[in-house]
Amino acid sequence: MVRYLCKKALILFTSLFFVLTGTFFLMKLVPGDPFLDDRITEEVLQALRAYYGLDQPLWIQYVKYVKGFLNFDFGLSLIYHGRPVAQLISHGFPVSAQLGLQALLVAVPSGILLGTWAAMQRSGWQDNVAMVISTLGIAVPNFVFASLLQYFVGLKLHLLPVARWGSFDHTILPTLALAALPTAFIARLTRSNMVDVLQQDFIRTAMAKGLPLFRIAIKHGLRNALLPVVSYLGPVSAQILTGSFVVERIFAIPGLGDWLIHSIHNRDYPVIMGITIFYSAFLMISIFLSDIAYSLLDPRVKIKRRAHG
């Protein structure tokens, strides 16, 4: 297990290094200059570039950026009055994380229950209804679903706030918008794998003993059916917890997505790089944790590791 974890950790840090390097140099290749303004004199322009270290050779900027990253220092924002990028991330991430966590708490149990219910009623009307719901959840983009929720629930029925960030009521509509896609995908994964599991010999033996199908599915089949779901939870958790940029923009939520979009519009390269690398690191760590969870749930992974070891 230790060897397996070390291998995964090495892959994680190597991937993160390439992401950091690629992001840094790609940002340097982007045309334009955030300081270009007819009202700024050449002396002020040179002073600003010197203040932010942009007048130094590229390799020195890169080395400083790598050192800063190791200390969670992504530099200073070019637009937000020189505020540290790490400070902006620390302000935006808790908002995105709260919203994402709520979406996961809705998506995971709902998707598993919907998929299990569909598998137990295979080819019945319940199965068809569940698959239609999951297909719509995958096919309809979350920004469309978010707009529909705003229009019908917020404007027409006046049940919940349409936008902004304040009380718990403000989080319900964006939570539902974020949870729609993962709920649908988890439901389809669970249903597909549960159908296969319910056809196994040990399930048929349990059914022959007269045990209820629901008890069999939950107690004996669910663990095996959830293995692909665990693998999916790694990347989707990172995506949801760091915020869906479009959904946050629609609901005027001050999360990471809001900071990133404003920074792109204003060519605030340190903020763009900082959020991109932070998101990449969060994504890789989530996948790393999902791999560990997968190996703990599936003993065959351990057997394969011993065989290759």
In DSSP notation, 63-117 reads: HHHHHHHHTT---B-TTTTT-BHHHHHHHHHHHHHHHHHHHHHHHHHHHHHHHHH
Give the SS3 label for residue 205: helix
pLDDT for residue 148: 92
What pLDDT score was predicted for residue 9? 81
pLDDT for res 139: 87
Please state the domain extents for the chain: 90-308
What pLDDT was estimated at residue 38?
58
Residue with tokens 């790609």: 26
- pLDDT for 273: 87
| Angle of helix 85-120 versus helix 227-241 axis, rounded to 10 | 150
Q: What is the identity of the amino acid at 179?
A: A
| CA distances (Å), origin 204, targets 121, 199, 282 | 16, 7, 42
Place of tokens 């950026």: 65
For residue 91, what are the CA distances in angstroms to 65, 190, 244, 251?
21, 36, 16, 17
Closest C-alpha among 119, 287, 244 to residue 187 = 119
Instruction: Give yes or no for a contact between 117 and 130, defined as CB atoms under 8 angstroms apart.
Output: yes
Residue 6: predicted pLDDT: 81
Q: 90-308, what's its fold?
A: MetI-like fold (1.10.3720)
Tens of pLDDT, residue by residue over 267-298, are 788 888 888 888 888 888 888 887 777 777 66
Low-confidence ranges of the chain (pLDDT < 50): 301, 303-309
pTM: 0.79
**Predicted local confidence at residue 23, as pLDDT:** 86
pLDDT value of position 218 = 73
How confident is the model at residue 216, as a pLDDT? 72
Which pLDDT value is given to residue 303?
42
Q: Measured between alpha carbons, how far is 45 from 47 in angstroms, rounded to an integer? A: 5
CA atoms within 13 A on the CB side of 302: 10
Q: What is the pLDDT of residue 1?
A: 65
